[in-house]
Homo-oligomer: A and B are copies of this chain.
Amino acid sequence: MHSLSLQTAAPHTGVNARPMGGLDRTLAQATLRRVEAKEFVFIEGDPTTHVFRVETGAVSLYKVLADGRRQIVGFAYPGDLIGLGAQGAHVMNAQAIKPTRLRCLAMATLHRAAAEDPALGLRLYEAVARDLAATRDLMLTTGQRSATERVVSFLMAFSRRSERNGQDPCDFELPMTRADIGDFLGLTIETVSRTFTKLKTLGLIELPQSNRVQLVDLDQLESLAAGEDDRS
């Protein structure tokens, strides 16, 4: 059980903080910060002074090219840590996609805590490793799957995440816009939208509102997602 971590996940980067032990205690007394939708938590180039844990809300993590093209590399939801793994300066942007509350943990504090609690260092290591695994899964998706496969994979991953959190895996609200989904999956807004409509027409999903999704035919969606790599 000293095993180095790594796990599966998907539109869930940012690291899930399941049994975070000592970290929880440390974070409980960390200062709370509120950010509005579209407000930045940190920006590329910012010195990495803090690590944040999302308490409520949601945050998008992305990189941009000089000409503005944007790649969202992950979304962080309640329980996820963001800002880990950056050395000196952040190499991407973290922007809230809805009103969000965050626990702010100074790097210095984190290091102090890690020095006292050797298990904490391992925890952080595992957190980053999990992020890495999620990012690679995403790469497999954006690099190899068709538009429909990508969107369905995304929905299924979100569904699993819902379930993990004890919520309905077949009826959830997407906190992000079509543009966010597109920049996450490497598609345009239009393609994302068209794909949603197609899935609705096929009777596989329902869209009571544009941000609310109901998965109707899980089996068929599963098969549309195509070739869940291996595991599972």
Contacts and interface: CB of A to CB of B under 8 A. Distances in A.
Contacts of A69: 144-145, 227
Interface stretch (A24-32, A122-130, A167-175): A122-130
Contacts of A70: 144
A3 B92 CA distance: 17
A138 to B, nearest CB: 7
A66 B228 contact: yes
Contacts of A5: 85, 87
B71 A2 contact: no
B226 A91 contact: no
Number of copies of this chain that the complex holds: 2
> Considering residues A2, A125, A132, A226, which has the most beta carbons from chain B within 10 angstroms of its beta carbon?
A132
Nearest to A74: B136
Contacts of A122: 121
A186 B6 contact: no
Q: Which 7 A-B pairs have the closest CB atoms?
A: A66-B227, A65-B227, A143-B186, A85-B129, A6-B87, A69-B144, A71-B140
Given A66-B227, A85-B128, A135-B135, 12 more contacts: A2-B111, A3-B88, A7-B87, A8-B91, A44-B229, A63-B137, A65-B140, A65-B229, A66-B230, A73-B136, A85-B133, A142-B142
